[in-house]
């Protein structure tokens, strides 16, 4: 080494020391990941001044990793909650109880209790923090709970260690037609910005170890709050109308026949046939494809599928009628995405009625929706007859 | 300069083709969908991009056609012939300013964004300082090397845009494309103007007036430059369409950086690449680097033609602190955006104005 290079080498070594520093480095072990969040009304909130209660579910890594010895009894989560006016502020208060740095980047699910979403505009305001802060992703799932939302974060089934992970995968499971699609935060944000009405997944506690996802909560965009709950059966009707029922079952149980059809495909098409504001007429065409998966009927579904189809058309039509009636008369809220259809295909008309679509004048309520149902049975399973053979 | 160095500094038609998207694709495209979605409905802004794009193609063609008539001459030489020496000096100084401002803006904007999404504790001053050092390093070397860096980085940028579109495809909803053609004329007018601004990369396409004469044998330059602008238009179209299809028009107009949000929405299988946004950021920093290096270089090139006796390194070291100072002037990200808008409109006006002026003068005077 030449001695005249010494200053240069010192500079290099110094810059090595200086440049490798990182302001933002936080070790993985020092991070506490928030996996689920529940938002409730605090006990001391009054009619005019709502106080929110936020519960964060933090992952406890040592509880997740099972040791070779077998089952550990340690909990895999830690729920912390505080009350206050603004969620971000409450979250900050919660951080005073936690020894690790809290990170929301892996947040999976946000649960709002019914009572929060029923208050006009409170929901909208409290959602802001989730779309505004940079560590939130727009793919976070949002759901509504019956009763207290934080109670859901305590439900641990046998096979999943984290309640919020359980809820998140539960929302994604779409085997039934009686539930809503998972509602992504980004989509929710879009609906709220456009003031459209929509439906949200509705969860309630079944017992200590299970939560059930059943029915939907109906959100009225203009009123800015939930106006009611649609039960599982009517949700199925709603999903068939919007063409979302691509799984699930329809079961017929009459005196002379008993069978279950499994839905495998569902399409729907809507058309505006009368454009007069006070007498809007919509023609709905609903196509349902199913397979017969269980029958107690004497007819064999393989050769007599028409009979089965007829029964299904009758059943679906009445279900749809019930659903439309409930939406128009009781909820008075457009849950069938007709608002989206009008905006996209009849923009000028939509602009003139959107302020009074499902509030005020309520053109939705006054409109006439007629439905055409078409059912196709694709196949009837592996067997021909039920044990009881015709005439046998 | 000896002969060897001269050939080393020479650039070719293909370099111009690559330089155009490298310069024009930068910060602007990250928030372009918001700017275009606000005054329009549905996907109507596509028309504005096409229209604005055609206008920019036209001006780029004029610029290149003019500049390629004077191979081997510096801008100040041929501009003096066309419009008298004082005017040429004035225009050159304006381009120096534009280069300085654009470099400062890009540096500040990328620092703001990195601060916002990547390092929230690292001070903005440090991020922009480190970034500036990298740019200075590129600019103080050979000019041809910057063009080669452009060629090196551009494929990454194109791949990033295509990956962004493909990976977010499953979030698209066809309903978001509707309704069609409901925007009023005013909306189209405003967005065409904004498209011109972002496609011209805040007027950086005017730098071609300086770079095109460096080409030794400009035979296919016009064609190359038009293809270059077409690439820019295509990237804008892809980004706009995918953003609006995913977020819908209204949510897009409510997002400050819709394209970053889009990248953040994508979750890839696998541990390391799970977060697409970090990859996207890394690549986008290359895009910003290209733009900053080119605009810094044009300021240096213009000053070199004014002060022939001063060495390049000296110019670079005088400009760097000025650029750093200007980049630290905006108080917050709103002011940064505002300054970008002002610089952009002035730059676009400068580029188009100068091109038109010189082109007309050349027609009238018939200078060879």
**What pLDDT shows up at residue B274?**
66
Q: Residue B48 and residue B190: Cα distance in Å, rounded?
A: 9
Instruction: Note whether A340 contacts B: Cβ–Cβ < 8 A.
Output: yes
CA–CA min distance A235, chain B (Å): 22
Partner-chain contact A189 B251, CB within 8 Å: yes
**What pLDDT shows up at residue B16?**
86
Q: Residue B304 and residue B297: Cα distance in Å, rounded?
A: 10
**What pLDDT shows up at residue B132?**
92
CA–CA min distance A296, chain B (Å): 41
List all residues 6 or more positions away from B223 whose beta carbon is below 8 Å from its beta carbon.
B13
Partner-chain contact A23 B119, CB within 8 Å: yes
Of A300-309, B100-109, B249-258, the poorest mean pLDDT is in: A300-309
Instruction: Note whether A138 contacts B: Cβ–Cβ < 8 A.
Output: yes
Using a CB-CB cut-off of 8 Å, the residues of chain B touching A134 are 116-117, 120
Instruction: Note whether B116 contacts A: Cβ–Cβ < 8 A.
Output: yes
Considering only CA atoms, which of A111, A107, A170 is closest in space to residue A139?
A: A107
Q: Which residues pair with A373 in a beta bridge?
A: A286
CATH number at residue B158: 1.20.1740.10
Residues 266-305 of B with CB under 8 A from A: 267
**What pLDDT shows up at residue B277?**
80
As a whole-number percent, the residues of chain B with pLDDT over 90 amount to 33
Using a CB-CB cut-off of 8 Å, the residues of chain A touching B251 are 186, 189-190, 193
Of A4-18, A204-218, B285-299, B318-332, the poorest mean pLDDT is in: A4-18
CA–CA min distance A387, chain B (Å): 45
Q: Is the pLDDT of residue B2 over 50?
A: no
CA–CA min distance B248, chain A (Å): 7
List all residues 6 or more positions away from B210 whose beta carbon is below 8 Å from its beta carbon.
B67, B74, B75, B95, B298, B301, B302
List all residues 6 or more positions away from B234 whose beta carbon is below 8 Å from its beta carbon.
none
Residue A73 class from Cβ within 10 Å (0-12 exposed, 13-18 middle, 19+ buried)?
A: exposed
CA–CA min distance A203, chain B (Å): 25
CA–CA min distance A23, chain B (Å): 5
Q: Which residue of B has its CA nearest to A191?
A: B251
Q: Residue B212 and residue A307: Cα distance in Å, rounded?
A: 78
Using a CB-CB cut-off of 8 Å, the residues of chain B touching A139 are 265, 267
CA–CA min distance B120, chain A (Å): 7
Provide the terminal-to-terminal Cα distance of chain B, rounded to the nearest Å: 26
Provide the terminal-to-terminal Cα distance of chain A, rounded to the nearest Å: 105
Q: Which residue of B has its CA nearest to A195?
A: B250
* Helix axes of B85-117 and B333-365: crossing angle, nearest 10 degrees: 150
DSSP string, B8-70: HH-B-HHHHHHHHHHHHSSSHHHHHHHHHHTTS-TTTHHHHHHHHHHHHHHHHHHHHHHHTTS
List all residues 6 or more positions away from B313 whose beta carbon is below 8 Å from its beta carbon.
B140
Residue A9 class from Cβ within 10 Å (0-12 exposed, 13-18 middle, 19+ buried)?
A: exposed
Yes or no: say if A320 and A241 are a contact pair by the CB < 8 Å rule: yes
Q: Which residue of A has its CA nearest to B249?
A: A190
Instruction: Note whether B133 contacts A: Cβ–Cβ < 8 A.
Output: no
- The number of domains in chain B is 1
**What pLDDT shows up at residue B272?**
59
| Radius of gyration (C-alpha) of chain B in whole angstroms | 20
- Minimal Cβ distance to A190: which of B117, B248, B261: B248
CA–CA min distance B266, chain A (Å): 9
Which structural domains are found in chain A, ordered by start? 26-230 (no CATH), 231-392 (3.30.300.210)
Instruction: Note whether B41 contacts A: Cβ–Cβ < 8 A.
Output: yes
| Domain carrying residue B250 | 3-365
CA–CA min distance B331, chain A (Å): 20
Q: What is the pLDDT of residues B141-187, one digit of tens each?
A: 888 888 989 999 999 999 999 988 988 888 888 888 888 787 788 88
Using a CB-CB cut-off of 8 Å, the residues of chain A touching B259 are none
Q: Residue A170 and residue A148: Cα distance in Å, rounded?
A: 18
Q: Is the dihedral of CA B95, B99, B104, B110 positive or negative?
A: positive
Using a CB-CB cut-off of 8 Å, the residues of chain A touching B254 are 189, 193
Using a CB-CB cut-off of 8 Å, the residues of chain B touching A340 are 175
Q: What is the pLDDT of residues B87-104, one digit of tens each?
A: 889 999 999 999 999 999
The bridge status of strand A77-84 relative to strand A52-59 is antiparallel
Q: Residue A196 and residue A186: Cα distance in Å, rounded?
A: 14
**Cβ-based contacts under 8 A for chains A and B:** 50
Q: Which residue of B has its CA nearest to A189?
A: B251
Residue of B125, B180, B181, B247 for testing the chain A interface, max A β-carbons within 10 Å: B247
**What pLDDT shows up at residue A392?**
43
Q: What is the pLDDT of residues B203-229, one digit of tens each?
A: 888 888 888 888 877 788 888 889 999
Using a CB-CB cut-off of 8 Å, the residues of chain A touching B252 are none
Q: Which residues pair with B114 in a beta bridge?
A: none
Using a CB-CB cut-off of 8 Å, the residues of chain B touching A347 are 41, 179, 182
Residues 176-235 of B with CB under 8 A from A: 178-179, 182
Residue in this structure with the two tokens 């529940």, named with its chain if needed: A38
pLDDT by position in tens, chain A (length 392): 556 788 888 888 877 776 666 777 777 777 888 888 998 888 776 666 778 888 888 888 777 765 555 555 678 888 888 888 888 888 888 888 888 888 887 888 999 988 888 887 788 888 888 888 877 888 888 999 888 888 888 888 888 888 888 888 888 888 888 888 888 888 888 888 888 888 888 888 888 888 888 888 888 888 888 888 888 888 888 888 888 888 888 888 877 778 888 888 888 888 888 777 778 888 888 888 888 888 777 777 777 778 778 888 888 888 888 888 888 888 888 888 888 888 888 888 888 888 888 887 788 888 888 888 888 888 877 877 766 655 54
Using a CB-CB cut-off of 8 Å, the residues of chain A touching B126 are 23
């Amino acid at each position: 080494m030449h001695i005249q290079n010494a200053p240069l080498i010192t500079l290099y070594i110094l810059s090595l020391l200086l440049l490798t520093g990182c302001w933002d480095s936080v070790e993985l072990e020092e991070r506490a990941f928030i996996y689920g969040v529940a938002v409730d009304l605090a006990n001391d909130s009054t009619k005019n001044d709502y106080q929110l209660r936020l519960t964060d579910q933090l992952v406890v890594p040592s509880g997740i990793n099972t040791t070779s010895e077998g089952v550990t009894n340690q909990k895999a989560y830690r729920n912390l909650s505080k009350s206050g006016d603004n969620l971000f502020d409450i979250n900050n208060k919660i951080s005073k109880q936690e020894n690790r740095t809290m990170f929301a980047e892996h947040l999976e699910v946000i649960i709002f209790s019914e009572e929060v979403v029923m208050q006009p505009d409170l929901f909208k305001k409290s959602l802001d923090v989730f779309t505004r802060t940079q560590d939130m992703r727009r793919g976070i799932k949002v759901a509504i709970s019956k009763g207290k939302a934080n109670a859901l974060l305590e439900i641990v089934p046998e096979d999943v260690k984290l309640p919020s992970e359980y809820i998140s995968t539960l929302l994604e499971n779409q085997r039934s037609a009686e539930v809503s699609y998972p509602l992504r935060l980004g989509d929710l944000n879009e609906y709220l910005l456009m003031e459209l009405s929509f439906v949200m997944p509705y969860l309630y506690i079944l017992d200590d170890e299970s939560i059930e996802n059943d029915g939907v909560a109906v959100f009225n965009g203009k009123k800015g709050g939930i106006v009611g709950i649609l039960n599982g059966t009517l949700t199925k009707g709603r999903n068939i109308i919007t063409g979302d029922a691509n799984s699930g079952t329809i079961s017929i149980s009459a005196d002379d026949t008993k069978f279950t059809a499994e839905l495998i495909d569902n399409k729907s098409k809507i058309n505006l046939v009368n454009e007069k504001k006070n007498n809007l007429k919509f023609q709905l065409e609903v196509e349902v494809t199913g397979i017969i998966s269980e029958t107690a009927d004497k007819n064999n579904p393989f050769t007599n599928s028409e009979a089965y189809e007829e029964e299904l058309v009758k059943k679906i039509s009445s279900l749809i009628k019930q659903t439309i009636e409930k939406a128009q008369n009781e909820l008075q809220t457009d849950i069938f995405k007709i608002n989206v259809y009008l905006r996209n295909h009849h923009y000028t008309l939509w602009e003139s009625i959107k302020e009074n679509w499902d509030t005020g004048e309520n053109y939705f309520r006054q409109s006439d929706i007629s439905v055409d149902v078409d059912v196709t049975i694709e196949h009837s399973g592996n067997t021909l007859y039920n044990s009881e053979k015709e005439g046998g | 300069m000896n002969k060897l160095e001269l050939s080393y500094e020479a650039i070719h038609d293909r370099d111009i083709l690559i330089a155009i998207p490298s310069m024009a694709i930068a910060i602007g495209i990250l928030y372009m969908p918001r700017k275009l979605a606000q005054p329009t409905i549905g996907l109507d802004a596509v028309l504005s991009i096409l229209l604005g794009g055609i206008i920019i193609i036209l001006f780029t063609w004029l610029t290149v056609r003019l500049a390629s008539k004077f191979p081997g001459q510096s801008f100040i030489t041929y501009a003096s012939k066309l419009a008298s020496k004082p005017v040429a000096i004035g225009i050159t100084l304006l381009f120096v300013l534009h280069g300085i401002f654009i470099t400062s803006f890009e540096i500040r904007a990328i620092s703001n964004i990195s601060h916002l999404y990547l390092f929230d504790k690292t001070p903005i001053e440090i991020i922009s300082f480190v970034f500036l050092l990298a740019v200075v390093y590129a600019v103080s070397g050979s000019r041809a090397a910057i063009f080669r860096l452009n060629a090196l980085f551009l494929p990454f940028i194109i791949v990033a845009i295509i990956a962004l579109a493909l990976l977010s495809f499953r979030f698209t909803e066809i309903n978001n494309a509707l309704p069609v053609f409901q925007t009023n004329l005013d909306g189209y007018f405003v967005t065409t103007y904004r498209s011109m601004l972002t496609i011209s990369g805040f007027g950086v396409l005017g730098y071609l007036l300086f770079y095109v004469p460096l080409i030794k044998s400009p035979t296919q330059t016009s064609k190359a430059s038009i293809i270059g602008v077409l690439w820019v238009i295509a990237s804008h179209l892809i980004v706009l369409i995918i953003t609006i299809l995913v977020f819908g028009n209204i949510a897009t107009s409510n997002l400050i950086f819709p394209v970053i949000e889009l990248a953040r929405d994508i979750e890839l299988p696998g541990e390391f690449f799970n977060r697409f946004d970090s990859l996207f950021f890394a690549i986008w920093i290359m895009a910003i680097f290209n733009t900053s290096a080119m605009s810094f270089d044009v300021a240096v090139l213009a000053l070199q033609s004014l002060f022939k006796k001063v060495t390049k390194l000296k110019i670079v070291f005088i400009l760097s602190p000025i650029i750093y100072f200007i980049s630290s002037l905006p108080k917050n990200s709103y002011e940064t955006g505002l300054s970008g808008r002002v610089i952009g409109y002035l730059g676009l006006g400068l580029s188009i104005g100068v091109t038109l002026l010189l082109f007309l003068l050349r027609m009238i005077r018939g200078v060879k």
